[in-house]
């Protein structure tokens, strides 16, 4: 049996997404920047996709810019805010995705900004009182706090963060890559400057994402070239990816309640089954449903003897899971997220992340496999 529980890294393409992408590939090959009929047809397709995304998020189509993915979108928001909005001070958390952390750290190293980190507790929750202190003591700040952590699943109340940022006239960017397509994002109500999305996290294609830029912010391109994306991103558009992204997000919004109930049920089922099967199993981050991303369960296991080989052993047994962000695979220093919350022990941790395609039978298989691995190395 082969089972896939690494959906926070990437998700399988939805068949309806494949269909709409292949149909577009077969019938529309023009360059959307061309003024002839073939080009105009494809331009219309791209703009229709933009309107679909904007409509679902309750934003204006002029606020949606397609990118190569979440990393580019995060970089664009950060770098252009520093340059174009006059940002000299930024606040983030030590739990952010490296697309945010490394970009902000590079800006500080280059002397463009001073960077502060908001405190977190042992569960990885953001100290919002400390955020207020940091914003009160510095110049106008750029705040970047992710909606849900991609490794431990903690949810941050970005509505509250946005309200705090408004009080101090701070620019607020949130990496919403893990929650896009899984939660409602109503940008007519949420006062935020930038959010990001990546299609492959919600059953769309890899290599395409978007950045939402609130219309009150006037920034320049990160990538220069042609006049694509209303002069905001040079380079011929990834038309088929854009079409797939819009269709995938549309499906997510249409089926969100059903899928959330199914996936939350699987997560709860796995948590209970692991507690019954493996004494001293623990969980990293928040566990309560209201404060935890329903697609992620980060498990800390007592079988320290196989810590270095656990993911490999799971793979051999037919279970695809991860120790953290897929972008950090191959790193020898481990998870920066687990280190930040004080999990420096030798206990191995595994991130299981779920999708609408997973089943209870697959969960049972994973629990049996983990139990056998731990029992065989007591």
| Whether residue 330 has pLDDT greater than 50 | no
Taking residues 118-139, report their average pLDDT: 96
Can you give the residue ranges of every domain in the chain?
3-11+255-372, 15-251
Token pair recorded at residue 332 = 């020898």
> Which architecture does CATH list for 15-251?
3-Layer(aba) Sandwich (3.40)
Name the residue with higher pLDDT: 331 or 107.
107
Distance separating alpha carbons of residues 35 and 39, to the nearest angstrom: 6
pLDDT on residue 334 = 76
Query: 195 has which bridge partners?
Result: 174, 212
In Å, how far are 84, 221, 253 from 201, measured between CA atoms? 30, 25, 14
| Whether residue 205 has pLDDT greater than 80 | yes
Name the residue with higher pLDDT: 352 or 308.
352
Taking residues 49-70, report their average pLDDT: 98
Nearest one of 259, 244, 217, 194 to 7, comparing CA atoms:
259
| Whether residue 347 has pLDDT greater than 90 | no
Nearest one of 195, 148, 156 to 173, comparing CA atoms:
195
CB neighbour class for 118 (10 Å; exposed up to 12, middle 13-18, buried from 19): buried
pLDDT more than 70, % of the chain: 96
pTM for the structure as a whole: 0.95
Query: 117 has which bridge partners?
Result: 92
Contact at 8 Å (CB) between 176 and 146?
Answer: yes
pLDDT on residue 329 = 47
Q: What is the band of 331 on the pLDDT scale with cuts at 50, 70, 90?
A: very low
Q: Does domain 3-11+255-372 have CATH number 3.40.50.2000?
A: no
Token pair recorded at residue 95 = 């739990």
Token pair recorded at residue 114 = 């001073």
Token pair recorded at residue 65 = 């810019």
pLDDT on residue 376 = 81
**8-state DSSP, 13:** P
pLDDT on residue 138 = 80
Lowest mean pLDDT among 14-18, 255-259, 285-289: 285-289
3-state secondary structure of 14: coil
pLDDT on residue 333 = 57
pLDDT on residue 344 = 59
| Whether residue 163 has pLDDT greater than 80 | yes
Average pLDDT, the chain: 95
Query: Alpha helix locations (H) across 216-359?
Result: 228-231, 239-277, 310-317, 336-340
Query: Alpha helix locations (H) across the chain?
Result: 15-27, 37-57, 70-84, 98-109, 128-137, 158-167, 228-231, 239-277, 310-317, 336-340, 360-375
Taking residues 206-216, report their average pLDDT: 98
| Whether residue 182 has pLDDT greater than 90 | yes
pLDDT on residue 345 = 64
Question: How many CA within 13 A on the CB side of residue 82?
Answer: 23
Q: What is the band of 245 on the pLDDT scale with cuts at 50, 70, 90?
A: very high
Taking residues 300-305, report their average pLDDT: 87
Cite the active site residues.
327
pLDDT on residue 144 = 98
């Amino acid at each position: 049996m082969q089972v896939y529980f690494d959906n926070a890294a990437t998700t399988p393409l939805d068949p309806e997404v494949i269909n709409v992408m292949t149909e577009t590939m077969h019938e529309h090959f023009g360059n959307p920047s061309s003024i002839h009929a073939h080009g105009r047809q494809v331009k219309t397709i791209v703009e229709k996709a933009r309107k679909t995304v904007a409509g679902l998020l309750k934003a204006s189509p002029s606020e949606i810019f397609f990118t190569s993915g979440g990393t580019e979108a995060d970089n664009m928001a950060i770098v252009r805010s520093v340059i174009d909005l006059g940002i000299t001070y930024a606040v983030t958390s030590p739990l952010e995705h490296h697309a945010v952390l490394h970009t902000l750290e590079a800006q500080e190293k280059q002397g463009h900004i001073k960077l502060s980190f908001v405190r977190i507790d042992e569960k990885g929750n953001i100290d919002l009182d400390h955020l207020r202190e940091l914003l009160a003591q510095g110049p106008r700040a750029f705040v970047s706090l992710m909606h849900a952590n991609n490794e431990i699943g903690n949810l941050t109340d970005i509505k509250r963060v946005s309200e705090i940022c408004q009080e101090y006239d701070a620019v607020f960017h949130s990496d919403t890559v893990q929650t896009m397509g899984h939660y409602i994002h109503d940008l007519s109500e949420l006062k935020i400057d930038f959010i990001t999305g990546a299609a492959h996290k919600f059953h769309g294609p890899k290599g395409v994402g978007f950045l939402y830029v609130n219309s009150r912010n006037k920034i320049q391109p990160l990538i220069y070239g042609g006049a694509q994306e209303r002069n905001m991103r040079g380079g011929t558009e990834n038309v088929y990816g854009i079409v797939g992204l819009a269709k995938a997000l549309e499906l997510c919004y249409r089926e969100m309640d059903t899928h959330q109930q199914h996936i939350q049920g699987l997560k709860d089922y796995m948590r209970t089954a692991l507690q019954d099967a493996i004494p001293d199993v623990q969980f990293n981050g928040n566990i309560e449903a209201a404060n935890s991303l329903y697609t992620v369960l980060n498990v800390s296991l007592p079988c320290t003897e196989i810590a270095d080989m656990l993911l490999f052993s799971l793979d051999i047994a037919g279970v695809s899971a991860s120790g953290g962000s897929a972008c950090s695979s191959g790193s020898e220093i481990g998870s920066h997220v687990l280190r930040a919350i004080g999990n420096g022990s030798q206990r191995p941790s595994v991130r299981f992340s779920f999708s609408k395609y997973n089943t209870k039978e697959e969960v049972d298989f994973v629990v049996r496999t983990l139990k056998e691995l731990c029992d065989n190395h007591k």
